[in-house]
Amino acid sequence: MAFSAVAVVLIAVLVLAGVLSFVLKEELPYYGPSWTEQDDIPGDVVAVAGENQTVKVGDEVSFDATGSTTGLEYSYSWRFHYVEGNETVFGMQASYQFDRPGEYVVTLVVLESRDVWAADNVTITVEEKTFVEQYWLALVVGAFVAIMLVQYISVLKKAKFVSPKVVALYGVLGALTAAITMSTVVPFAPTKGYFNLGDAVVFFSALTFGWRTGAICGGFGSAAADILLGSGYFAPLTLVAKGSEGLVAGFIGRLGGGKRLAVVVGIVAGGACMVATYFFGELLLLDVGLGAALLESAGNAIQVAVGGTLGSLLSIAVKKSYPSIVSSQE
């Protein structure tokens, strides 16, 4: 019962986030250019405003005109409509923070003199943060409370409380998962995610101590790493992805006493849950785009292969050296 209940909680987090992300998504307002004299560009001045950008509300937008005519005699200004009036920021390199969603046409004006100037437009698309990005903390805390309630109800029915040793084990493995994840980060810019070796600890926990340990330590340990690394909006997705990875790997991998075939199938099945969760979550909830989600899926598959190999080898070594501490079956 506890196995299915934990799985339901993890799935419910994704379903809730998906439904609310879809319901709350709104069409972006459009703000046209504020510079209306762009057709005639006299003189030899050149303005290059750079590539169009897509950001989230609250992110800092960097403007860069280094491809334009350079020199101290030139003046650089970035002009655009914002809400009720016009805004202007100055400098060859400048920045601005948009706190309202919309599609903004920003005009770079390079001015040499009153009658000699050039202009170029760049479009800044400012998107509202998704439901997951705004309320990730509530989702993580809610999932934690729900899973603890499931554990508590399960314990009451069995009239057998979790021992202090098990609680300590959860704490140590959860902290180890977070530490290994944070110390092996390789950023992946398109999705703002990262490659890491935390899966090795997730698989080790699951294959050595069972599905419950894999789910709790893998899910919450990895989500804690996201929060500490400043990527908290990824935490609900990570909780489900890594939690399901540990849960499935631990359940299947320990069948038949943890035979080699069961371990391999458990790693593949658990890894598939992780890769699929991140792919659909990034595509549908975080709206990173199909191309970026596919690229990260390839990286996540490599992460599963490396983490599964390291985790299973470590599990075999520990089981052989310390059979007494892993004798209990979940």
Q: Do residues 269 and 244 make contact, with C-beta atoms less than 8 angstroms apart?
A: no
pLDDT score of 152: 64
Pull the structure tokens for residue 291.
Answer: 């191309």
Q: Do residues 63 and 93 make contact, with C-beta atoms less than 8 angstroms apart?
A: yes
Q: Calculate the CA 253 to chain-centre distance.
A: 27
Mean pLDDT by 10 residues, the chain (330 residues): 54 57 54 52 74 87 84 76 80 88 88 76 86 72 71 63 79 91 87 88 94 90 89 87 93 86 94 93 84 91 95 91 63
pLDDT score of 189: 77
Q: Would you say the pTM of this structure is higher than 0.85? A: no
Domains of the chain in sequence order: 2-23+130-326 (1.10.1760.20), 30-127 (2.60.40.10)
pLDDT score of 282: 87
Per DSSP, helices labelled H in the chain are 2-24, 131-158, 164-183, 198-209, 211-228, 235-253, 260-280, 290-321
pLDDT score of 173: 92
pLDDT score of 12: 60
pLDDT score of 38: 47
CA atoms within 13 A on the CB side of 143: 30
* Main-chain phi, psi angles of 93, to 5 degrees: -120, 125
